[in-house]
Amino acid sequence: MGAGDGGYALHRAKTEPSTFAIALDASPDALSAGAWRAKRTRVVNAAFLVEAVERIPSELAGLANEVTVHFPWGSLLRGVIAADERVLTPLARLLKPDGELRLLLSATLRDGYADLTPGDLSALAGCYAELGLELTEMRAANRMDIAASRSSWAKRLGRDRLVVFARYSRRSSRSGFTAAGTPSAAHVIHSTLNRPS
């Protein structure tokens, strides 16, 4: 979600043929470039969907093993750092039971926010849990985490800028999903595992 040019989803689709990756972003401009690259390189296991997080189609509910949000801005950033139900509920609904939500976040005073730390996001764990997302890991991201995001925006980050990595497991929610009780071993990003778009 918040896929930008879809580069990360496209990379996962290219390097993991058994993965069906879906790049979602509210802005068609950058996303269309990723869709064009997928078509040009004949990647058939990726889809590009222009949609805001608040309007994710119900047909995608419960399909993803993993959802990533890398360096969001605008309403998506505001939603995850404020544990806004209008943002977190649609993200949680995308996930299968025991699916994972992974976040890479960076916000500073220059962006109009207080400098975001792992402790700030950890303090919201109860709010996330109420929406079906149980915190499983929270820490400062390392350079490998940031590079693995394949984010063009991340390449412009200064080395001293703090980036927070968070991982949540889809446990249960008001929409009726329940978990089997153990964390998923799946590691497929934006994936519906070979289900067509």
**How much is the CA Rg of the chain, to the nearest whole Å?**
16
Does a structural domain hold residue 184?
Answer: no
Domain count of the chain? 1
Structure confidence at residue 178 (pLDDT): 40
Q: Of 65, 70, 81, which Cα lies nearest the Cα of 147? A: 70
Domain assignment of residue 190, yes or no:
no
> Is residue 191 in some structural domain?
no
Q: Please, what is the average pLDDT of the chain?
A: 85
With a cut of 50, which residues of the chain have pLDDT below it?
173-197
121: in domain = yes
Structure confidence at residue 172 (pLDDT): 55
* Residue 161 to residues 76, 133, 143, Cα–Cα distance (Å): 20, 27, 11
Q: Within a domain: residue 112?
A: yes
SS (H, E, C) the chain: CCCCCCHHHHHHHHHCCCCCEEEEECCHHHHHHHHHHHHHCCCCCEEEEECCHHHCCHHHCCCEEEEEEECCCHHHHHHHHCCCHHHHHHHHHHEEEEEEEEEEECCCHHHCCCCCCHHHHHCCHHHHHHCCEEEEEEEECCHHHHHHCCCCCHHHCCCCCCCEEEEEEECCCCCCCCCCCCCCCCCCCCECCCCCC
What's the pLDDT score for residue 193? 38
Q: Is residue 81 part of a domain?
A: yes
Residue at 166 is within a domain: yes
pTM: 0.82
pLDDT of residue 160: 77
10-to-22, 103, 129, 153, 175 alpha-carbon distances in Å: 9, 18, 30, 16, 30
User: What's residue 101's pLDDT?
Assistant: 97
Domain hosting residue 46, numbered range = 7-170
Inside any domain, residue 36: yes
CATH of residue 115's domain is 3.40.50.150
